[in-house]
Amino acid sequence: MRKSGPPRGLISYIVLELLEEKPRYGYEILKEITDISGGHWEPSYGSVYPILYKFEDEGYAERIEREDEPDRKYFALTDEGREHLTEKRREVGGKARDFADVILGFYHMYVAFSTDERFHVDPSDDDWHFDDEYSGWIAEQVIRHHERDFGEFERIPDTPEEFHARHGEATAPDTDEDEAADDDQPDKAATDGGTNA
């Protein structure tokens, strides 16, 4: 169970990967992250540049000049930065469960706002609502992206406990009986921007 937001160090890891691909400037990195997230997440402008400056101070990145854009601050990854990226890949590789906790946690909150009698959320004037139709749309988008990237989607009948036991994990996330029923479709919590795959 996560007690905060996205996994720590996520933005710095993504910055390293994007700099390895090619030299970039801060706003370009922000827009790339937004695209990767399907338009659902853009780190604050003030979060990326401090990371770039920190990487520069630590020798992981260096500022480069471009004749065609002399006023823009481009950064390129150094050899030390590539070594650091190797470490970060191992670190982030161990955070898949943190991602799942964030995704499932917010999805459960979405459903709670739709169905739990303790919440009385007024209907919105825009095109999104807390209800079964929009919950289904979220699930549909995740399935479409799953099928686009991984192949045909197949339902997983395991309970959370069975799923984690099958994968050799000592414990499953804390759930109650209602949540366990929802978790029969554990990947239906993330959205892709509301577009077809």
Question: Are 87 and 147 part of one and the same domain?
Answer: no
Q: For the chain, percent helix, then strand, then coil, each to nearest 5? A: 55, 5, 40
Compute the distance between CA of residue 155 and CA of residue 61 in angstroms, rounded to an integer: 44
Q: Is 76 helix (H, G, I), strand (E, B) or coil?
A: strand
Tell me if 62 is assigned to some domain: yes
Tell me if 193 is assigned to some domain: no
Contacts of 72 by beta carbon, 8 Å cutoff, 6+ apart: 25, 66
Low-confidence ranges of the chain (pLDDT < 50): 175-197
Question: Are 128 and 141 part of one and the same domain?
Answer: yes
Q: What percent of the chain has pLDDT over 70?
A: 83
Tell me if 190 is assigned to some domain: no
Tell me if 75 is assigned to some domain: yes
54 touches 122 (CB < 8 A): no
Examine the fold and report which residue of 65, 93, 121 is the final residue of a domain before the chain moves on. Answer: 93
What's the pLDDT score for residue 169? 78
Q: Hey, how many other C-beta atoms are within 10 angstroms of the C-beta on 44?
A: 8
Domain that holds residue 86: 10-93
| pLDDT per residue as tens digits for the range 98-156 | 888 889 999 999 999 999 999 999 888 888 899 999 999 999 999 999 999 999 999 99
Q: Is 64 helix (H, G, I), strand (E, B) or coil?
A: strand
